[in-house]
Amino acid sequence: MGPVLHPSVRERQEPRMSAAALAEFLIMRPDGQQNVLHDSKFSRPPIVTANGDAMRALRAYNVDPRRSPEILIRVKEALTIKAADRTIKPKAREDALRCAEIIDLFEIRENALGMRRMALSSPPKFDAIDIEGVEVSIRPDFLVGAGRRGDRIGAGILRVAKAPDPEACKMKTTKERRGEHRREMARYLVALMQMLLEAQDGSLGTVDRDLCFVADLRLGENMGPAPDHTARLRSIRAACRQVRELWPSIQAKPALYRK
């Protein structure tokens, strides 16, 4: 009998990736692409969603037409109490502190992110869409527009993840490279959101790619479709064909097997 994967590891037999993983794949070199494919095929489900408390608060705030500051104030107060509670595990305290810091940063950069002027609403839970034989899971944080048949509709993602963090380096060239990495990811995510909305066959409205955006909290920037947007749609389809072909050859790393 050959080696057996650890029980916590899930192996996906059919090609399936998150939108963020596919965007990473598109902009990485071959060795980095292999790591993205490996982590998409073999995954350990997280116990809790990273930055979950912060994202729930920021979604609630941004879909509120009044953008009531009380929404964020209440959550930050609860997170501050949790971060100081020595009766809970250190990891939970660290997560609470990180979520409070994310909300603080959003409040500082809200104007730069340009979301206040948008008519945002909560999206449904979308099923993964098939792109050239790869199931791609795309989870926007917001819908933009009324979301009724015939109306123009877009979608948005508020990206709060740190990595790659432009602020965590001293050299200007490294900072610029990490910033551009995030911008390239955003441009592909915008294209993927357009593909997601188009897959709904008009049930949410008429897709307008100019209403799709990624608001990157770490950069303090709001990014819409790139000038070469149409070429990126072709690149996404070509990348998915490549992923479909490579998927059967991806092997689990030794660390994932039962000891």
What are the pLDDT digits (tens) for 49-89?
779 999 999 999 999 999 999 999 999 999 999 999 999 99
Q: What is the mean pLDDT of residues 151-157?
A: 95
Specify the pLDDT at position 257: 85
Specify the pLDDT at position 163: 79
- Residue-wise pLDDT for 164-185, tens only, equals 777 777 788 888 988 999 999 9
Specify the pLDDT at position 222: 97
SS (H, E, C) the chain: CCCCECCCCEECCCCEEEHHHHHHHHHCCHHHHHHHHHHHHEECCCCCCCCHHHHHHHHHHHHCCCCCHHHHHHHHHHHHHHHCCCCCCHHHHHHHHHHHHHHHHHHHHHHHHCCCCCCEECCCCCCCEEECCEEEECCCCEEECCCCCCCEEEEEEEECCCCCCHHHCCCHHHHHHHHHHHHHHHHHHHHHHHHHHHCCCCCCCEECHHHCEEEECCCCEEECCCCCHHHHHHHHHHHHHHHHHHHHHCCCCHHHECC
Calpha distance 11→243 (Å, rounded): 15
CB 190 within 8 A of CB 182: no
Q: Does domain 10-44+118-254 have CATH number 2.60.40?
A: no
Q: What is the mean pLDDT of residues 119-125?
A: 95
Q: What is the mean pLDDT of residues 91-96?
A: 93
Render the burial of 217-244: b for 16+ CB within 10 Å, e for the rest. bbbbbbbbbbeebeebbeebeebbebbe
Question: How is the chain split into domains, by residue range?
Answer: 10-44+118-254, 52-113
Specify the pLDDT at position 170: 74
Which of 235 and 175 is assigned the larger pLDDT? 235
Instruction: Judge whether residue 157 has pLDDT over 80.
Output: yes
pTM: predicted TM-score of the whole model, two decimal places: 0.92
17 DSSP β-pair partners: 136
Specify the pLDDT at position 177: 87
Instruction: Judge whether residue 145 has pLDDT over 60.
Output: yes
Specify the pLDDT at position 50: 76
Calpha distance 59→116 (Å, rounded): 12
